[in-house]
Amino acid sequence: MISICDVTLRDGLQSIDRLLSIDQKFEILKQLISVGVERFEFSSFVSPIVVPQLADATEFSARIIDNKLMSKYTTCLILNEFGSKRAIEAGAKFQTLVVSTSNSFSIRNSGQSLSELNLSIARIAKSIQSAGGRFRGSISMSFGEHGEDLPLEAVLHNVELLSSLGAFEVSIADTTGQATVESLSKLLDSVKEAYPHVPINLHFHGKGNSLLELTVAALERGVNSFDLSLLGVGGCPNIDHRFGNLSYSIFISACKQCGRDLPLDIHKLNKLENYFSKITC
């Protein structure tokens, strides 16, 4: 069964200059639910100076909790211990914890070296579990920086780390849009062989046909969990060449090619994407 995690409200909005209100964000969340989406990454507890769009993470968490929509399928992205503590205090105890294959990117993204990050991730995981929460892991730079070789051993190390700490899913993220069908196939085959029981999610950044080819290849290799965003908006702000996320339209096309059914209301999805386009222009 296909599982979609919508990242519009976190990753997507990072690339949108026009600040949305909590009412607008909650309207997007409600409409996503009516479309048939069941999993969301709704915000990130990061510096409001760095990402002003997500400065309302605490208040938005309260809105979600008040409407009884907070669960392990409604997560927030966490980069460090301070962010996780803020999230737990706000009632957001279901989190996405980010690790990396790149030391330089880790320093840019979280202010921590890989060794510091790996130690803090263990403490964060324990704090989340002590608060009664759960987490999924995300491996940034899973396909390397531009021009680098596939960091396969680093990815495998991080899958081991996150799964051993109790992640209910591990997301493999193509932060720089580097993935090819060949490198994706090699990585997925290696992960499946080494960790056959670890649920894997894919978070693609890229463009058009390349994203379609990658998604088809992933579906053919048995991946069933994907991060999507409305209109494909988003991308990492801490790299030189930002690519967008996997869009619903491309994902739907890939599923059709593979004969996979999606329990989504396409009419409501089109209506939502029109609304989203209007409020973010």
> How much is the pTM?
0.95
Q: Quick one: how far is CA 257 from the chain centroid?
A: 24
Specify the pLDDT at position 262: 93
Specify the pLDDT at position 238: 60
Specify the pLDDT at position 245: 95
- Rounded CA gap, 54 and 280, in Å? 14
pLDDT in tens, 157-208: 999 999 999 999 999 999 999 999 999 999 999 999 999 999 999 999 998 8
Specify the pLDDT at position 209: 85
Where does residue 128 rank: exposed (0-12), middle (13-18), buried (19+ CB within 10 A)? buried
Q: Is 60 left (phi over 0), alpha (psi -120 to 50) or beta?
A: alpha
Answer positive or negative: Cα dihedral of 159, 155, 255, 236: positive
- For the chain, give the percent of residues with pLDDT over 90: 85
Strands (E), 27-175: 39-44, 74-78, 94-100, 134-140, 170-173
Phi, psi torsion values for 194, nearest 5 degrees? -80, -35
Answer positive or negative: Cα dihedral of 21, 26, 32, 38: positive
Strand-pairing partners, residue 15, are: none
Q: Is residue 243's pLDDT more than 90? A: no
Domains within the chain, CATH numbers bracketed: 3-280 (3.20.20.70)
Residue 207 to residues 24, 172, 204, 241, 243, Cα–Cα distance (Å):
27, 17, 9, 12, 7
Q: Select from 101, 83, 102, 84 the least CA-distant residue to 93.
A: 84
Specify the pLDDT at position 239: 61
Mapped onto helix, strand or coil, the DSSP state of residue 216 is helix
More confident residue, 15 or 162: 162
pLDDT in tens, 212-226: 999 999 999 999 999
Specify the pLDDT at position 111: 87
**Side chain identity, residue 41:** E
Specify the pLDDT at position 180: 95
